A = this chain, B = another copy of it.
Amino acid sequence: MTVHLKDIAEYTGVSIKTVSNVVNGNFARVSAEKRQQVLDAIKKLNYQPNVAARHLRKAPVGVIAYAFPDLSNPYFSDVGNAITAAAAEQGYTILLDYTRSEREKELLVVKGLRPHLVDGIILDSHTLDVEDVPSDQTKGAIVLLGERLFGAPFDHVLIDNVAAARIATQHLLSLGRRRIAVIGVVEQCQSEAPSLRLQGYMQALNEAGQELDPLLLANGGLWHRADGAASMRYLLSLDSPPDAVFCFNDLMALGAMSVLHEAGLRIPEDIAIIGIDDIEDGRYAHPSLTTIAPDKEKMGQCAVSLLIGRIKGTRTQAPECVNVPFHLCIRKSTVGNAQ
């Protein structure tokens, strides 16, 4: 039996307009409680969108959506640029869908309920769990990016986060730094990136016979510049401050650097800084920021080509997890003018 919007309205006792708002991702005028009722009913009644858009979607439209969590982080702009270029090469257009890390918006993306006219989706999720996503690829082609939804039945493109973090930490150790802090720990984080990067850091310390000082593990918040700045202030307040800081992304590293400048400390002489992402901002910073550079072009090409394979049906094997390469990019924030 086909389930319609009105069935959900009847089942939940809310208006069809409200159900429609939820299905289209327009939450602003829907209370959290009603929203949840509708989302629960969609799941329970197994609602499938049954509108003209659904019919259209059966014919290829040459459009792919890239759903990403944070428009303020240039890392996602870089990946978006790479995806857009790779898609254009293959004759596809990209629509950017900015989910603001909101669980409901990400849910609608994977359930194909957002009013997109797209053949497939490249999703960097920050909130979903495996049970939230369709159990097979037949409900729409999806490729995952980022450190979440491991084990979901989709091709997944990312870097080896543990290895990347180990190499970043080893670089600081190789320069003789012995009190290496991290910035970017997030308790109960929805993405696994913080814990994977923390693992790599701990592995490197362990291999070097260094003790872990829990005081040197600083919070990451939203991984923005302001979070890096706040955590750097905390680290400077310690009785025994660090001589190097490994920031789990470049944005936090840039925030941390601004605090060191304010405090009159020298980078890297007093404190060396390394990040991850290789955003352009870090290349032009003073001093230029040492970082782990994921191959974002490859990431975009790989995600697009896996997705198009699924869309066209030429790729039928079981989903794979594809690691793209990264490299340590040494700049002045760790080695000074030696660079």
Number of copies: 2
For the complex formed, measure the closest distance between the CB of A153 and the CB atoms of chain B, giving whole angstroms: 27
How far in angstroms is the closest Cβ of chain B from A59?
A: 9
From B55, B91, B258, contact of A21 by CB (8 A): B91
Question: Does A312 make an interface contact (CB < 8 A)?
Answer: no
Q: Which residue of B lies closest to A260 (CB)?
A: B286
Q: Which of A51, A53, A91, A92 has the largest number of chain B CB atoms within 10 A?
A: A91
Interface of chain A residues 271 through 288 with chain B (CB within 8 A): 280-281, 283-288
Q: Is the CB of B62 within 8 A of A24?
A: yes
Given contacts A26-B92, A91-B29, contact A52 B56 (CB under 8 A): yes
Q: Which of A38-46, A95-103, A320-328 contacts B (4 or more CB under 8 A)?
A: A95-103
- A61, CB-defined interface residue at 8 Å: yes
The yes or no answer to A247 lying at the interface (CB within 8 A) is no
CB neighbours (8 Å) of A27 from chain B are: 88, 91
Q: Please name the residue on chain B nearest to A97 by beta carbon.
A: B95
Query: What are the 3 A-B residue pairs with the smallest beta carbon separation, nearest first?
Result: A96-B96, A26-B62, A258-B284
Known: A20-B62, A53-B56, A71-B96. 9 other contacts (CB 8 A): A52-B53, A52-B56, A71-B84, A74-B74, A93-B115, A96-B96, A254-B284, A258-B288, A286-B286
